[in-house]
Amino acid sequence: MKAMKLYSDVHRIYNNLAAMGLGPDDRLTVAHLTPFDQYHYEGTDAVDLALDHLGLHPGEALLDIGSGIGGPARYIADKTGVRVTALELQPDLDAVARDLTARCGLAASVTHVCGNILNGAPGDPFDGIISMLCMLHIPDKPRLFAAARAALKPGRAMYIEDFARARPLSAAETASLAEKVQAVDLPTSAEYRAHLQAAGFTQITLQDVTAEWRQFSAGRVKAARATRPAQVALHGESTVAGLEDFYEAVDALWQGGALTGLRIVAR
Ligand SMILES: C[S@@+](CC[C@H](N)C(=O)[O-])C[C@H]1O[C@@H](n2cnc3c(N)ncnc32)[C@H](O)[C@@H]1O
Protein backbone atom coordinates (compact mmCIF):
# COMPACT_ATOMS: atom_id res chain seq x y z
CA MET A 1 0.00 0.00 0.00
CA LYS A 2 2.81 2.40 0.78
CA ALA A 3 3.79 2.45 -2.90
CA MET A 4 0.75 4.74 -3.17
CA LYS A 5 2.23 7.97 -1.94
CA LEU A 6 -1.05 9.38 -0.58
CA TYR A 7 -0.48 6.88 2.25
CA SER A 8 3.16 7.80 3.01
CA ASP A 9 3.83 10.09 5.91
CA VAL A 10 0.19 10.34 7.02
CA HIS A 11 1.47 12.26 10.06
CA ARG A 12 1.77 15.23 7.71
CA ILE A 13 -1.63 16.44 8.95
CA TYR A 14 0.12 17.39 12.21
CA ASN A 15 2.29 19.83 10.20
CA ASN A 16 -0.90 21.44 8.85
CA LEU A 17 -2.30 21.74 12.37
CA ALA A 18 0.99 23.18 13.70
CA ALA A 19 0.86 25.81 10.95
CA MET A 20 -2.56 26.80 12.36
CA GLY A 21 -1.02 27.11 15.84
CA LEU A 22 -2.51 23.78 17.04
CA GLY A 23 -0.09 21.59 18.99
CA PRO A 24 -0.40 17.93 20.07
CA ASP A 25 -2.30 18.74 23.27
CA ASP A 26 -4.81 21.15 21.77
CA ARG A 27 -8.49 20.28 21.40
CA LEU A 28 -9.57 20.13 17.75
CA THR A 29 -12.81 20.65 15.85
CA VAL A 30 -13.91 18.81 12.73
CA ALA A 31 -13.67 22.14 10.87
CA HIS A 32 -9.93 22.33 11.69
CA LEU A 33 -9.41 18.96 10.02
CA THR A 34 -11.65 18.77 6.95
CA PRO A 35 -9.25 20.63 4.61
CA PHE A 36 -6.68 17.85 5.27
CA ASP A 37 -8.43 14.61 6.32
CA GLN A 38 -10.68 13.78 3.33
CA TYR A 39 -8.74 11.26 1.21
CA HIS A 40 -11.31 11.21 -1.62
CA TYR A 41 -12.53 13.66 -4.28
CA GLU A 42 -14.50 16.86 -3.59
CA GLY A 43 -14.08 16.86 0.19
CA THR A 44 -17.08 17.11 2.49
CA ASP A 45 -19.41 18.04 -0.42
CA ALA A 46 -19.12 14.40 -1.49
CA VAL A 47 -19.85 13.20 2.06
CA ASP A 48 -22.96 15.41 2.15
CA LEU A 49 -24.15 13.75 -1.07
CA ALA A 50 -23.60 10.35 0.53
CA LEU A 51 -25.67 11.42 3.55
CA ASP A 52 -28.54 12.46 1.26
CA HIS A 53 -28.62 8.94 -0.17
CA LEU A 54 -28.10 7.03 3.07
CA GLY A 55 -31.13 8.51 4.88
CA LEU A 56 -29.71 7.88 8.37
CA HIS A 57 -31.18 9.09 11.68
CA PRO A 58 -29.34 10.19 14.84
CA GLY A 59 -28.25 7.18 16.88
CA GLU A 60 -28.25 4.81 13.90
CA ALA A 61 -25.09 2.88 13.04
CA LEU A 62 -22.97 3.42 9.91
CA LEU A 63 -20.01 1.36 8.73
CA ASP A 64 -17.25 3.27 6.89
CA ILE A 65 -15.23 0.77 4.84
CA GLY A 66 -11.67 2.01 4.30
CA SER A 67 -11.94 5.02 6.58
CA GLY A 68 -8.43 6.43 6.08
CA ILE A 69 -7.46 8.93 8.78
CA GLY A 70 -11.15 9.20 9.72
CA GLY A 71 -12.22 12.36 7.90
CA PRO A 72 -15.63 11.24 6.60
CA ALA A 73 -16.40 9.29 9.82
CA ARG A 74 -15.78 12.30 12.09
CA TYR A 75 -17.63 14.68 9.77
CA ILE A 76 -20.71 12.42 9.72
CA ALA A 77 -20.75 11.72 13.46
CA ASP A 78 -20.33 15.41 14.25
CA LYS A 79 -22.93 16.62 11.77
CA THR A 80 -25.65 13.99 12.20
CA GLY A 81 -25.32 12.20 15.54
CA VAL A 82 -24.95 8.90 13.66
CA ARG A 83 -22.63 6.35 15.35
CA VAL A 84 -19.84 5.45 12.94
CA THR A 85 -17.61 2.37 12.91
CA ALA A 86 -14.51 3.33 10.94
CA LEU A 87 -12.78 0.25 9.51
CA GLU A 88 -9.25 0.88 8.21
CA LEU A 89 -6.66 -1.61 6.97
CA GLN A 90 -3.44 0.34 7.57
CA PRO A 91 -2.34 0.62 11.23
CA ASP A 92 -0.59 4.00 10.86
CA LEU A 93 -3.69 5.59 9.31
CA ASP A 94 -5.87 3.99 11.99
CA ALA A 95 -3.60 5.36 14.76
CA VAL A 96 -3.71 8.93 13.38
CA ALA A 97 -7.49 8.59 12.95
CA ARG A 98 -7.98 7.53 16.61
CA ASP A 99 -5.86 10.39 17.88
CA LEU A 100 -7.72 13.02 15.83
CA THR A 101 -11.12 11.60 16.79
CA ALA A 102 -10.26 11.65 20.50
CA ARG A 103 -8.99 15.23 20.25
CA CYS A 104 -12.28 16.27 18.61
CA GLY A 105 -14.19 14.76 21.55
CA LEU A 106 -15.84 12.24 19.22
CA ALA A 107 -14.49 8.98 20.68
CA ALA A 108 -17.96 8.01 21.97
CA SER A 109 -19.56 8.30 18.51
CA VAL A 110 -16.74 7.09 16.20
CA THR A 111 -15.31 3.62 16.87
CA HIS A 112 -12.06 2.95 15.04
CA VAL A 113 -11.27 -0.63 14.06
CA CYS A 114 -8.05 -1.62 12.32
CA GLY A 115 -8.86 -4.52 10.02
CA ASN A 116 -9.61 -5.89 6.57
CA ILE A 117 -13.20 -5.85 5.26
CA LEU A 118 -12.44 -9.14 3.47
CA ASN A 119 -12.39 -10.76 6.94
CA GLY A 120 -15.89 -9.41 7.63
CA ALA A 121 -17.17 -6.27 9.32
CA PRO A 122 -17.02 -5.90 13.10
CA GLY A 123 -20.20 -6.17 15.19
CA ASP A 124 -23.90 -6.37 14.29
CA PRO A 125 -25.36 -5.38 10.90
CA PHE A 126 -25.43 -1.64 10.24
CA ASP A 127 -28.12 0.86 9.16
CA GLY A 128 -25.88 2.01 6.33
CA ILE A 129 -22.47 1.62 4.71
CA ILE A 130 -20.25 4.28 3.18
CA SER A 131 -17.05 3.59 1.26
CA MET A 132 -15.15 6.44 -0.38
CA LEU A 133 -12.41 5.47 -2.86
CA CYS A 134 -11.47 2.29 -0.98
CA MET A 135 -12.91 -0.53 -3.06
CA LEU A 136 -10.56 0.13 -6.00
CA HIS A 137 -7.88 -1.43 -3.77
CA ILE A 138 -9.79 -4.73 -3.49
CA PRO A 139 -9.86 -6.89 -6.63
CA ASP A 140 -11.88 -9.73 -5.03
CA LYS A 141 -15.26 -8.04 -5.55
CA PRO A 142 -17.36 -11.19 -4.83
CA ARG A 143 -15.78 -11.56 -1.38
CA LEU A 144 -15.91 -7.79 -0.77
CA PHE A 145 -19.59 -7.40 -1.65
CA ALA A 146 -20.55 -10.57 0.24
CA ALA A 147 -18.93 -9.03 3.34
CA ALA A 148 -20.71 -5.72 2.69
CA ARG A 149 -24.09 -7.40 2.25
CA ALA A 150 -23.63 -9.39 5.46
CA ALA A 151 -22.82 -6.13 7.28
CA LEU A 152 -25.95 -4.28 6.09
CA LYS A 153 -29.49 -4.55 7.48
CA PRO A 154 -32.00 -5.60 4.79
CA GLY A 155 -33.44 -2.68 2.81
CA ARG A 156 -30.77 -0.20 3.91
CA ALA A 157 -28.30 1.56 1.61
CA MET A 158 -24.61 1.25 0.81
CA TYR A 159 -23.03 4.35 -0.76
CA ILE A 160 -19.80 3.83 -2.71
CA GLU A 161 -17.49 6.22 -4.56
CA ASP A 162 -15.05 4.28 -6.72
CA PHE A 163 -13.08 3.93 -9.93
CA ALA A 164 -14.07 1.66 -12.80
CA ARG A 165 -12.17 0.87 -16.00
CA ALA A 166 -13.44 2.99 -18.91
CA ARG A 167 -11.87 0.90 -21.70
CA PRO A 168 -9.18 -1.75 -22.27
CA LEU A 169 -5.99 -0.41 -20.68
CA SER A 170 -2.49 -0.21 -22.10
CA ALA A 171 0.32 -2.07 -20.34
CA ALA A 172 1.66 1.24 -19.01
CA GLU A 173 -1.75 2.23 -17.63
CA THR A 174 -2.20 -1.18 -16.00
CA ALA A 175 1.24 -0.90 -14.40
CA SER A 176 0.64 2.67 -13.19
CA LEU A 177 -2.71 1.70 -11.65
CA ALA A 178 -1.21 -1.39 -9.99
CA GLU A 179 1.79 0.39 -8.54
CA LYS A 180 0.91 4.02 -7.95
CA VAL A 181 -2.80 3.62 -7.20
CA GLN A 182 -2.65 0.06 -5.78
CA ALA A 183 -5.60 -0.83 -8.03
CA VAL A 184 -5.51 -4.18 -9.79
CA ASP A 185 -8.18 -5.56 -12.11
CA LEU A 186 -10.68 -2.67 -12.06
CA PRO A 187 -14.11 -3.74 -13.34
CA THR A 188 -16.07 -1.80 -15.98
CA SER A 189 -19.28 -0.09 -14.80
CA ALA A 190 -21.34 -3.00 -16.17
CA GLU A 191 -19.13 -5.54 -14.38
CA TYR A 192 -19.41 -3.50 -11.18
CA ARG A 193 -23.22 -3.68 -11.32
CA ALA A 194 -23.09 -7.42 -12.03
CA HIS A 195 -20.86 -8.00 -8.97
CA LEU A 196 -23.32 -6.10 -6.76
CA GLN A 197 -26.28 -8.04 -8.17
CA ALA A 198 -24.49 -11.35 -7.65
CA ALA A 199 -23.96 -10.43 -3.98
CA GLY A 200 -27.71 -9.87 -3.53
CA PHE A 201 -28.08 -6.11 -3.95
CA THR A 202 -31.29 -5.49 -5.91
CA GLN A 203 -31.75 -1.70 -6.15
CA ILE A 204 -28.57 -0.34 -7.69
CA THR A 205 -27.90 3.08 -9.21
CA LEU A 206 -24.56 3.96 -10.78
CA GLN A 207 -23.92 7.61 -11.57
CA ASP A 208 -21.05 8.39 -13.92
CA VAL A 209 -19.08 11.32 -12.48
CA THR A 210 -16.05 10.98 -14.76
CA ALA A 211 -16.15 14.56 -16.09
CA GLU A 212 -16.36 15.98 -12.56
CA TRP A 213 -13.50 13.87 -11.21
CA ARG A 214 -11.32 14.50 -14.25
CA GLN A 215 -11.66 18.21 -13.54
CA PHE A 216 -11.01 17.71 -9.79
CA SER A 217 -7.86 15.75 -10.56
CA ALA A 218 -6.52 18.40 -12.95
CA GLY A 219 -7.22 21.10 -10.35
CA ARG A 220 -5.38 19.10 -7.67
CA VAL A 221 -2.24 18.86 -9.83
CA LYS A 222 -2.41 22.56 -10.63
CA ALA A 223 -2.86 23.54 -6.97
CA ALA A 224 0.01 21.28 -5.88
CA ARG A 225 2.34 22.92 -8.41
CA ALA A 226 1.23 26.45 -7.51
CA THR A 227 1.78 25.93 -3.76
CA ARG A 228 4.92 23.78 -4.00
CA PRO A 229 7.38 26.04 -2.09
CA ALA A 230 4.96 26.48 0.83
CA GLN A 231 4.19 22.73 0.87
CA VAL A 232 7.91 21.85 0.89
CA ALA A 233 8.49 24.26 3.78
CA LEU A 234 5.66 22.55 5.69
CA HIS A 235 6.17 18.86 4.91
CA GLY A 236 9.65 18.51 3.39
CA GLU A 237 10.77 17.71 -0.16
CA SER A 238 10.30 13.95 -0.06
CA THR A 239 6.65 14.02 1.13
CA VAL A 240 5.74 16.71 -1.40
CA ALA A 241 7.52 14.94 -4.27
CA GLY A 242 5.69 11.70 -3.37
CA LEU A 243 2.27 13.36 -3.34
CA GLU A 244 3.01 15.15 -6.62
CA ASP A 245 4.04 11.87 -8.22
CA PHE A 246 0.78 10.26 -7.06
CA TYR A 247 -1.43 13.19 -8.18
CA GLU A 248 0.27 13.29 -11.60
CA ALA A 249 0.06 9.53 -12.15
CA VAL A 250 -3.69 9.48 -11.40
CA ASP A 251 -4.24 12.59 -13.48
CA ALA A 252 -2.57 10.98 -16.51
CA LEU A 253 -5.07 8.11 -16.16
CA TRP A 254 -8.03 10.52 -15.93
CA GLN A 255 -6.95 12.77 -18.79
CA GLY A 256 -6.08 9.74 -20.94
CA GLY A 257 -9.63 8.41 -20.63
CA ALA A 258 -8.68 5.23 -18.74
CA LEU A 259 -11.03 5.67 -15.79
CA THR A 260 -14.72 6.03 -15.04
CA GLY A 261 -15.74 7.72 -11.78
CA LEU A 262 -18.74 6.13 -10.07
CA ARG A 263 -21.16 7.17 -7.34
CA ILE A 264 -23.11 4.07 -6.43
CA VAL A 265 -26.11 3.48 -4.22
CA ALA A 266 -27.01 -0.17 -3.63
CA ARG A 267 -29.71 -1.69 -1.41
C1 LIG B 1 -8.29 6.66 -0.73
S2 LIG B 1 -8.38 6.17 0.97
C3 LIG B 1 -9.90 6.93 1.43
C4 LIG B 1 -10.05 7.04 2.92
C5 LIG B 1 -11.41 7.60 3.38
N6 LIG B 1 -12.49 6.80 2.85
C7 LIG B 1 -11.57 9.03 2.95
O8 LIG B 1 -12.33 9.26 2.02
O9 LIG B 1 -10.93 9.91 3.54
C10 LIG B 1 -8.85 4.41 0.91
C11 LIG B 1 -8.59 3.68 2.22
O12 LIG B 1 -9.09 2.34 2.13
C13 LIG B 1 -8.26 1.53 2.94
N14 LIG B 1 -8.41 0.10 2.56
C15 LIG B 1 -7.97 -0.49 1.42
N16 LIG B 1 -8.26 -1.80 1.41
C17 LIG B 1 -8.93 -2.06 2.57
C18 LIG B 1 -9.50 -3.23 3.14
N19 LIG B 1 -9.40 -4.41 2.50
N20 LIG B 1 -10.14 -3.13 4.34
C21 LIG B 1 -10.20 -1.93 4.99
N22 LIG B 1 -9.67 -0.78 4.49
C23 LIG B 1 -9.05 -0.83 3.30
C24 LIG B 1 -6.86 2.07 2.64
O25 LIG B 1 -5.93 1.66 3.59
C26 LIG B 1 -7.13 3.56 2.60
O27 LIG B 1 -6.91 4.17 3.85
Report the distance separating Cα 253 and Cα 169, nearest Å: 10
Nearest residue to 46 via CA among 107, 146, 130, 154: 130
Q: What is the mean pLDDT of residues 20-45?
A: 97
Tell how far the Cα of 233 is from the centroid of ligand 1, in angstroms: 28
- CATH number, span 5-266: 3.40.50.150
pLDDT digits (tens, 9 = 90+) for 67-107: 999 999 999 999 999 999 999 999 999 999 999 999 999 99
Percent of the chain past pLDDT 70, that is, above it, reads 100
Question: pLDDT value at position 8?
Answer: 87
Confidence of residue 3 (pLDDT cuts 50, 70, 90): confident
Nearest protein Cα to ligand 1, atom 19 = 116
User: Are the CB atoms for 125 and 148 separated by under 8 Å?
Assistant: no
Question: pLDDT value at position 111?
Answer: 98
Question: pLDDT value at position 101?
Answer: 98
Q: Is the CB of 261 under 6 A from ligand 1?
A: no
User: Are the CB atoms for 92 and 70 separated by under 8 Å?
Assistant: no
Report the distance separating Cα 204 and Cα 66, nearest Å: 21
Q: Is the CB of 44 under 6 A from ligand 1?
A: no
Q: What is the mean pLDDT of residues 32-53?
A: 98
Percent of the chain past pLDDT 90, that is, above it, reads 97
**Mean pLDDT, rounded, of the chain:** 97
Least confident of 6-10, 156-160, 262-266: 6-10
Question: pLDDT value at position 264?
Answer: 98
Candidates 5, 42, 89, 184: which one to mutate for ligand 1, based on the most atoms within 8 Å of Cβ? 89
Q: Is the CB of 134 under 6 A from ligand 1?
A: yes
Q: What is the mean pLDDT of residues 135-145?
A: 98
Q: What angle do CA 39, 43, 44 make, to 5 degrees?
A: 120
Question: pLDDT value at position 4?
Answer: 86
Question: pLDDT value at position 81?
Answer: 98
pLDDT digits (tens, 9 = 90+) for 157-200: 999 999 999 999 999 999 999 999 999 999 999 999 999 999 99
Exposure letters 116-133 (e unless 16+ CB within 10 A, then b): ebeeebeeeebbbbbbbb
